[in-house]
Structure 1
Amino acid sequence: MDNKAYAEGLAKLREVRDEIRPLERQLAKIQGELTKLATRRDQKIVELGEFEKAKADRIATSAGVSVIDVVALAPSLGPQGTARAPVEAASADSTIVDRTGPQAAAQAIKEPAGAPAPALRPAAQPTAADDEQQTDTSEDQELPAAAGAAATAAPSPTTALTSATPTVAPGGEQERTLPSIPEGAAGDRWIYAEPNLTSKRPNFKQATRQMAFLDTATGVLVWQAGAVTLDLGRASVAEILTAVYATVPADVERIYITAGDPWHQNAGRHQFLKDAVAEWLNGPLPEGWQVESSRGKDRQAGHLVHPRNPVGRWQRGKDQHTEIRSVGEWFDPAGADPATARAAFVELWKALRRHWDDVVLMGSPSQTGRDLWSRTIPAKAGAKWADGYPVMSQEIRGLLHATAGQGRTELITPPRVPERVPGWYEADRTFAYAKHTWTSGVGVPQRVTAAAFAAMSEKEQADALFSPSHWQVRVTIPRDWDHVGLLPAPAPGERAWHYPYEGGRTFVTWAGGAEVNLALRNPLQPWRIEILDGLVWEKGDPLKDWSNKLKDAWRSLRAVAEVHGDERQRQAARLASRAVRSILLYGIGTFAQRPRITTGSLELGAGGEVPEIPDGARLTGLTDTHVTWERNGGFARDPYAHPEWAAGVWSAARAALLSGPTGTKDPATGKPARAGALHLPAGSILAFRTDAIYSSVRPEWPYSGEPGDYLLKGAMAWEQTTPTTDEEFYVLQALGRQALEAEEQ
């Protein structure tokens, strides 16, 4: 670059600056007006809340906020009735609005004394009663009880929860405060099932949607009737819809993108991928097409702006509907062409058809998983739970949402580990979540306070800790502890978790029964656990039949992938087996029923004016042509909301990542051989990623191909620089997998 080019560049930069400034002023003005209006709204809510006949649900509807937000501003609208008092029946449109029952007001509480958990037999020396627990205790896309709590409030992510004594991490940052169940009768009122809301077996069959598979990089389109190569231009929405529907019939309602990722074509112009995706989804449409506004009972409307697997929904006229989705929701196509991707879906349907006569592959694995599960609910008259599985109160669901994380993600860096390590090894648990679905909590839970736990016999305490449960606990790490952390604790940042490991440290957290048991019975040294509060469910197996059928389909597809004579069919079967894994993994995730987040976009006015966004929404992006918005819809009255099941599976999977049985017997003891991070040397663990452990020493664990077994997926038996960032970690992950593949050839 010479002086002239530099000067021209500066001039162009000033032009961009001058274009940005008026938009920044406009956005600041909008944000200022929005803040003023929000303040006026909150003041009005407070005024209306003083009216003796005021109802939180009616105010929430009029204000465009959640019931929890209203109660936070007007605590007098919180629950005042007796324990387990019935709440007002849902209105006719309850499927699209939050439950209108009142919520407990936020309150700071003091830290009471905890009830020490009993000493349990170490996992390395199991009792007969313990064998079943080891087989399973609770695994795409995120602990014994304790007596001292932080603040209590209706546990919604939209409600600010405060603590009388905030916890400060060793690094000096203040950790998030987890919610608690209110003391006394106020907390007892949380312990009920939602009235007239149960998970029942459906009495209808899902409608079948025709699919097409498109590689936008090559233009190859495959559907039931054949295959063609299209000219897609730049693969905009308009070009795809025009080219595809000039070729296939209108009853093809799903277009799966197998390669090309057209929604990322302008990623270089945006700071975040979601903005590039939103721009692509909101691009110009062919004449007669529009963004889908409403659909039938089993359909959804509007776009899903996801950075890697978005969903676009459009319609032409009243009768033609279509979705453009990523096949990456189901599996990584790993270079498979559209014909092979379609063959994978055919193999998937055939494998599931052996167990479900009415199977229909829906748009996503999560939708498919939940639908298949619903068809395993007992239906025979007189069978237990034939009337349906009850849905927990909104308060309990909110508590679990706020206090039950998902997979463990942790990068362990120097000085906890050396700056140079002798090797790099990745051990990944095969189909891990399927290992932890044999038992789950059912019915309305029993609340076990610190006082109630202390009053139990030691056997009753052990029984409670071995039951499906979720505990608030005060944890004290042994002073001479030198291995990884065992229990999750809230870290700074929304929904963030870390795993304290410092000897002598005490902290308060929530954890599932599987992790509490692990902390008490780990093979190295028991941790001190004090029970503060907890929820204990009756043992049941609502996921067992569903999971067993999916595991059978997974095994049959893996067998086909090993022995089929045609390479395309082998690859299709491999992809289909990965799709089965996604059905179970994301199906479990749907039980968690997070608050509904609705996204949308609106076109800017002719002069660049920002249009009015829906009530309760916030701006999330601004492009040259559109604004995008997001709104938290709170917890819906979903008949399939069972976060207690998802939390139990996740807790057990995290515990098994540290120590758990394999599918192979230990010849010395005759018991299942155990594997996990605690069975590797202290200081050798470099990272955790949901189902995988990364270490500096090679794990020699038996592998039989069963769910939960550790498969070596990466290996470099030479000195490496320890990764300190996610970018460095993923480079080593890729190199380790390539090295192991070369070693095995």
Structure 2
Amino acid sequence: MTPKAYQDGLAGLRAVRDKAKPLERQLAKIQAELEKLYAQRDREVRTLGAYEKAKADRLATSAGVSVIDIVALVPSLGPQGPTEAPTGAVVTQEASEVPEGPEAAAQAIKESEVSPTHDKPTPAADEATETTTNSTVQPATPALAAPAPTPVAAQDSTAAAVPSAPAAGDARELPSIPAGPAGDRWIYTEPNLASKRPNFKQAARQMAFLDTATGTLVWQGGTVRLDLGHASVAEILTAVYATVPADVERIYVTAGDPWHRTAASHQFLKDAVAEWLNGPLPEGWQVESSRGKDRQAGHLVHPRNPVGRWQRGTDQHTEIRSVAEWFDPAGADPATVRAAFVELWKALRHHWDDVVLMGSPSQTGRDLWSRTIPAKTGTKWADGYPVMSQEIRALLHATAGQGRTELISPPRTPERLPGWYEADRTFAYAKHTWMSGVGLPARVTAAAFAAMSEKEQANALFSPSHWHIRVTVPTGWNHVGLLPAPAPGERSWHYPSEGGRTFTTWAGGAEVNLALRNPIQPWTIEILDGLVWEKGDPLKDWSNKLKDAWARLRAQSNLHGDERQRQAAALASRAVRSILLYGIGTFAQRPRITTGSVELGTSGEVPEIPDGARLTSLTDTHVTWERNSGFARDPYAHPEWAAGVWSSARAALLSGPTGAKDPATGKPVRAGALHLPAGSILAFRTDAIYSSVRPDWPYSGEPGDYLLKGAMPWEVAAPTTDAEFYVLQELGRQALEAEGL
């Protein structure tokens, strides 16, 4: 570089600085104004909340925040039930079209729902004084080898329903159901809201598959190679629709990730995605506006799998999506990916004559499930599965975690490990859909639980249920933790294992039973409160059909004579897994985080953003905002089902039966972390166990079986960070693959 070039560069840098400074000042001013308005809003909410007829939902709508936010400001509104529905009432509505996603006003960028991986429960407040009543439960027909009668105490809880957030650095405390009549008023179903079988067929969309790295485009009409330039939105739309007909409404990107092209210049991937989605459009194109109940409008900003939606005129609509929503293409070319979607459709059509592949596996899963709802008059639940009260749904959102993610590091493990092994449960969630809670839950208080007979207590614990409990780890316990506890800081859950430690948490019946009847030593559980549902099987038919489709595709991937078709069938089988996995996730109905982006004015002034939103980023051309939209009135919101599956899967990760029989006892061989030596467990990742000892569990390829996916039978250093863990995970998989060659 010459001195002149260096001086010119400094001048250019100063020009960038001079442009940025006014924007920074504008942003700071806006942030200050927002803080003042938020403070004013909170004061007015508290004032209006004191009115005797105030309603949390009305205040939430007017304030532009969620009901949970209102209740946090005015706790007295928390236990209020709707006057339209008396306690215990089950009210249903007529079936209507199932939307592909929640309707909303169009925004340049819109994120309709928080990813299932983001699990941030609502903070809870200090528990109030409690009165203790002890009771003992004798397992009636225990799931595991029964220990001696296990102490399970029942205890009244008078903790506040929606407490204030804990101080920074303190352990997060979970909410609870208010004591007495205030809590009983939570037990109702939403008026005129139930899951019913749809009376219409989804509209099929024509698809195209595009590798943006090579420009290869495949659709029903053939294969072409396009010149995409830098693969901007404008270049993709122009090149694709100069080739394919306008009725192709969905473009799946199979490779290239064009939305990450500018990732190096952004602190967060989401900002790079937003910049790509907001890029210039060809003449005549615009961001899509609302176009019917089964259509979403605007863009979905996701750091890795975004969705862009555009339209040209009033008749042509298109969306660009990542095929990674469905499966990892693993280097497959667009033609093979398209063949995978064809095979997926064929396998599903064997069970659903009206199957339509929708934009994502979660949308497809929910739609297929809705078509298994009983419809024959007189059949139980033919009037629909009722949706729980918003209070119960919010409680489950805050207290029912998802898959177990834990890294166990020295000194809980040796610094040098004798080996590294990864055992992953095949299609695990499909194993836990045979029973779910249906109807209105019964609240079981501590006093009510104590008054039950031992058989009634066992029946309650083995029913679909969710329990507020105080847990004591046995003295001398030297294995992994069994029950999730609210964690301080950013991590949502951890699993205490120190002998003698006591903590309060919520857990599903499957995990409570596992803690009481584990094969090593029973834990002590005190019942503080609980919700127990009637036993039903709303997911069984749906799950069985998906399992059959999965098995057919797996067999095809092993036996087909054509290599491309074998690969396509394997990818399709993974798509079926995603349909079930993410379909279950949609039942959880997390509070929606809506994001949007608005363009800066011609002079750089920041335009008005929606009420209740906060700024998240500022670029040269756009301001991006984010707003918590709370819980929608979704007829398919059943967090009790998702929570039950997740709880059962976490319990099975510790101990569960396999399909093989023990020749000595004739009973099923059990597998899981508790059947490996203490100190050998290194990590959990949803359905996988990582150990320093090679698991010797039978594998027949059935859902729930453990498949060895990684193995390094030599000494390695124990991982102490997630980065080190993922390095060992990849090395272990490569080593096992090399071993099999």
TM-based fold match above 0.5: yes
Q: State whether residues 172 and 488 of structure 2, in contact with CA within 8 Å, keep that contact through their aligned partners in structure 1.
A: yes
Distance 1:710 1:499 in 2: 22
Is residue 2:322 matched to residue 1:303? no
In the alignment, structure 2 segments of 5+ residues that lack a partner are 105-111, 113-123
In structure 1, what is the equivalent of residue 42 of structure 2?
Answer: 42
Distance 1:112 1:18 in 2: 65
Q: Give the SS at the match of 2:137.
A: coil
Amino acid at match of 1:470: H
Q: State whether residues 308 and 321 of structure 2, in contact with CA within 8 Å, keep that contact through their aligned partners in structure 1.
A: yes
Q: Match for 1:372 among 368, 373, 390?
A: 368
Amino acid at match of 2:654: L
C-alpha deviation, 1:47, in angstroms = 3.4
| Deviation by residue 1:229-252 (Cα, 9 ceiling, x = unmatched) | 000000000100111011111111
Q: Give the SS at the match of 1:620.
A: strand
Distance 2:325 2:533 in 1: 33
C-alpha deviation, 1:342, in angstroms = 0.3
Q: State whether residues 79 and 391 of structure 2, in contact with CA within 8 Å, keep that contact through their aligned partners in structure 1.
A: no
Q: State whether residues 150 and 179 of structure 1, in contact with CA within 8 Å, keep that contact through their aligned partners in structure 2.
A: no
Q: Where do 1:476-555 residues align within 5 Å? A: 476-493=472-489, 496-555=492-551
Is residue 2:145 matched to residue 1:125? yes
Distance 2:297 2:354 in 1: 24
Distance 1:12 1:116 in 2: 76
Q: Match for 1:660 among 656, 666, 674?
A: 656
Distance 1:125 1:86 in 2: 40
In structure 1, what is the equivalent of residue 190 of structure 2?
Answer: 194
C-alpha deviation, 1:733, in angstroms = 0.7
C-alpha deviation, 1:60, in angstroms = 2.9
In structure 2, what is the equivalent of residue 102 of structure 1?
Answer: none
C-alpha deviation, 1:727, in angstroms = 1.1
Q: Match for 2:707 among 707, 711, 716?
A: 711
In structure 1, what is the equivalent of residue 132 of structure 2?
Answer: 113
Q: Match for 2:572 among 576, 587, 592?
A: 576
> Compared with structure 1, are the counterparts of its residues 602 and 638 closer, same or farther at alpha carbon in structure 2 (3 Å cutoff)?
same
Amino acid at match of 1:656: A
> Compared with structure 1, are the counterparts of its residues 676 and 76 closer, same or farther at alpha carbon in structure 2 (3 Å cutoff)?
closer
Distance 2:142 2:92 in 1: 48
C-alpha deviation, 1:125, in angstroms = 2.6
Distance 1:106 1:416 in 2: 31
Amino acid at match of 2:481: G
Q: Where do 1:617-656 residues align within 5 Å? A: 617-656=613-652
Q: Give the SS at the match of 1:705.
A: coil
In structure 2, what is the equivalent of residue 436 of structure 1?
Answer: 432
In structure 2, what is the equivalent of residue 682 of structure 1?
Answer: 678
Is residue 2:104 matched to residue 1:84? no
Q: Where do 1:325-336 residues align within 5 Å? A: 325-336=321-332
Q: State whether residues 103 and 296 of structure 2, in contact with CA within 8 Å, keep that contact through their aligned partners in structure 1.
A: no
Q: Where do 1:159-558 residues align within 5 Å? A: 161-162=164-165, 173-493=169-489, 496-558=492-554
Q: State whether residues 428 and 712 of structure 1, in contact with CA within 8 Å, keep that contact through their aligned partners in structure 2.
A: yes
Distance 1:494 1:206 in 2: 40
C-alpha deviation, 1:110, in angstroms = 2.5
Q: Give the SS at the match of 1:370.
A: helix
In structure 1, what is the equivalent of residue 556 of structure 2?
Answer: 560
C-alpha deviation, 1:475, in angstroms = 0.2
Distance 1:381 1:145 in 2: 44
In the alignment, structure 1 segments of 5+ residues that lack a partner are 99-104, 128-143, 155-159
In structure 2, what is the equivalent of residue 591 of structure 1?
Answer: 587
Distance 1:563 1:724 in 2: 42
Q: State whether residues 189 and 388 of structure 2, in contact with CA within 8 Å, keep that contact through their aligned partners in structure 1.
A: yes
C-alpha deviation, 1:345, in angstroms = 0.2
Amino acid at match of 2:458: A
Distance 1:14 1:147 in 2: 67
Distance 2:708 2:642 in 1: 27
Q: State whether residues 595 and 625 of structure 2, in contact with CA within 8 Å, keep that contact through their aligned partners in structure 1.
A: yes
Q: What's the C-alpha RMSD, in Å, of the aligned pairs?
A: 2.8
Distance 1:114 1:610 in 2: 60
| Deviation by residue 1:319-344 (Cα, 9 ceiling, x = unmatched) | 11111000000000000000000000
Q: State whether residues 677 and 685 of structure 1, in contact with CA within 8 Å, keep that contact through their aligned partners in structure 2.
A: yes
Q: State whether residues 303 and 599 of structure 1, in contact with CA within 8 Å, keep that contact through their aligned partners in structure 2.
A: no
Q: State whether residues 186 and 392 of structure 2, in contact with CA within 8 Å, keep that contact through their aligned partners in structure 1.
A: yes
| Deviation by residue 1:678-724 (Cα, 9 ceiling, x = unmatched) | 11111111110000000111000000000000000000001111111
- Report which stretch shifted further, 16-25 or 454-463: 16-25
Amino acid at match of 1:634: G
In structure 2, what is the equivalent of residue 131 of structure 1?
Answer: none
C-alpha deviation, 1:284, in angstroms = 0.7
Distance 1:2 1:111 in 2: 77
Q: Match for 1:603 among 585, 599, 608?
A: 599
> Compared with structure 1, are the counterparts of its residues 719 and 75 closer, same or farther at alpha carbon in structure 2 (3 Å cutoff)?
closer
Amino acid at match of 1:377: I
> Compared with structure 1, are the counterparts of its residues 86 and 711 closer, same or farther at alpha carbon in structure 2 (3 Å cutoff)?
closer
- Report which stretch shifted further, 622-631 or 177-186: 622-631
Amino acid at match of 2:70: V
Distance 1:701 1:76 in 2: 53
Q: State whether residues 116 and 531 of structure 1, in contact with CA within 8 Å, keep that contact through their aligned partners in structure 2.
A: no
TM normalised by structure 2 equals: 0.91
C-alpha deviation, 1:56, in angstroms = 4.0
In structure 1, what is the equivalent of residue 70 of structure 2?
Answer: 70
Amino acid at match of 2:160: T
Q: Give the SS at the match of 1:285.
A: coil
> Compared with structure 1, are the counterparts of its residues 550 and 53 closer, same or farther at alpha carbon in structure 2 (3 Å cutoff)?
closer
Distance 2:383 2:509 in 1: 28
| Deviation by residue 1:409-437 (Cα, 9 ceiling, x = unmatched) | 01111111111101110000000000000
C-alpha deviation, 1:455, in angstroms = 0.7
In structure 2, what is the equivalent of residue 136 of structure 1?
Answer: none
C-alpha deviation, 1:177, in angstroms = 1.2
Q: Give the SS at the match of 1:633.
A: strand
Aligned length: 711
Q: State whether residues 210 and 218 of structure 2, in contact with CA within 8 Å, keep that contact through their aligned partners in structure 1.
A: yes
C-alpha deviation, 1:537, in angstroms = 0.5
| Deviation by residue 1:439-484 (Cα, 9 ceiling, x = unmatched) | 0000001101111111111111111100000000000001100011
| Deviation by residue 1:334-381 (Cα, 9 ceiling, x = unmatched) | 000000000000000000000000000000000000000000011111
Q: State whether residues 154 and 450 of structure 2, in contact with CA within 8 Å, keep that contact through their aligned partners in structure 1.
A: no
Amino acid at match of 1:218: T
Distance 2:724 2:15 in 1: 37
- Report which stretch shifted further, 22-31 or 734-743: 22-31
> Compared with structure 1, are the counterparts of its residues 247 and 87 closer, same or farther at alpha carbon in structure 2 (3 Å cutoff)?
same
> Compared with structure 1, are the counterparts of its residues 449 and 495 closer, same or farther at alpha carbon in structure 2 (3 Å cutoff)?
farther
| Deviation by residue 1:556-584 (Cα, 9 ceiling, x = unmatched) | 00000000000000000000000000000
- Report which stretch shifted further, 14-23 or 727-736: 14-23
Q: State whether residues 151 and 180 of structure 1, in contact with CA within 8 Å, keep that contact through their aligned partners in structure 2.
A: yes
- Report which stretch shifted further, 358-367 or 610-619: 610-619
Distance 1:415 1:114 in 2: 38
| Deviation by residue 1:653-698 (Cα, 9 ceiling, x = unmatched) | 0000000011111111111110000111111111100000001110
